[in-house]
Amino acid sequence: MADQPGAAPPEVDRRRARRTFATVAGAGVTCAAVAALASGKPWVDVPRAMDQLGTAPGVSNALETHAQSASALALALVALAAWGVLLVLRGRARTTMAVVGLLFAAGLLGVAVLGYHEVPQAVRQAMVHQLGTRPGSAARIPIPHTGWYWLTLVAAAASLVALGGAVRTAHRWPAMGARYDAPGGAPTGERDMWHSLDEGRDPTDPGSA
């Protein structure tokens, strides 16, 4: 069948698919890894908030767990794992896994956006219940966000964009290890060896050939 007028040659399409794969997958894995790292760090600066109360050094350690988001870390790790699975799949299965990763990345971004208010509020509530701070005093204490929070927010958004790109293009990406696929993908000697074993012959024995 003749090529369609204006259609790109197959080799050009393959090169384009490889470039897209390298760009989208590289950016996606990097963003997901950064999001997983940042989401496991404190999102607000508890020691600085404790300075406002004039508490003794070390008291802020009791509130550090409230400065983090366990749900964000879990979502980020699943989104990162989705990339690991996606890369070893092919075709429509890759697209399906990209959709799964996209959903978790969207969840991570939603948790990060909501965390702007929810995490500081969780720290203030811990001040009231664990330190005996008056609710009115806790509400007036400024609790600044750390760079880890902003890094999580940016990485989650970038991961969402990368996975969106994967949903659109992953089914055209080159398959990993495709040269070992059958039929005709495995090296000739290796195929002959397996055929000999299937037939009950020892491929290392010259007399059995």
> What mean pLDDT is reported for the chain?
80
pLDDT at 182: 45
pLDDT at 49: 75
DSSP sequence for 142-175 = --PBPHHHHHHHHHHHHHHHHHHHHHHHGGGSPP
> Of 32-41, 47-56, 118-127, 178-187, which one has max mean pLDDT?
32-41
pLDDT digits 0-9 by tens, 143-186: 899 999 999 999 999 999 999 999 988 888 877 654 444 444 44
Neighbours of 91 (CB within 10 A): 12
**Is residue 203 in some structural domain?**
no
**Is residue 191 in some structural domain?**
no
Please state the domain count of the chain.
1
**Is residue 178 in some structural domain?**
no
| Tokens linked to 12 | 């050009």
**Is residue 141 in some structural domain?**
yes
Q: How many CA atoms lie within 13 A of 105 on its CB side?
A: 32
Please indicate whether residue 33 or residue 90 has the higher confidence score (pLDDT): 33
pLDDT at 183: 46
**Is residue 118 in some structural domain?**
yes
Region 100-122 average pLDDT? 95
Give the span between the Cα atoms of 16 and 10, in whole angstroms.
10
| Tokens linked to 156 | 């989650």
**Is residue 194 in some structural domain?**
no
Domain extent, residue 83, equals 20-173
**Is residue 82 in some structural domain?**
yes
Going by C-beta distance under 8 Å and a sequence separation of 6 or more, which residues neighbour residue 24? 162, 165, 166, 169, 170
**Is residue 114 in some structural domain?**
yes
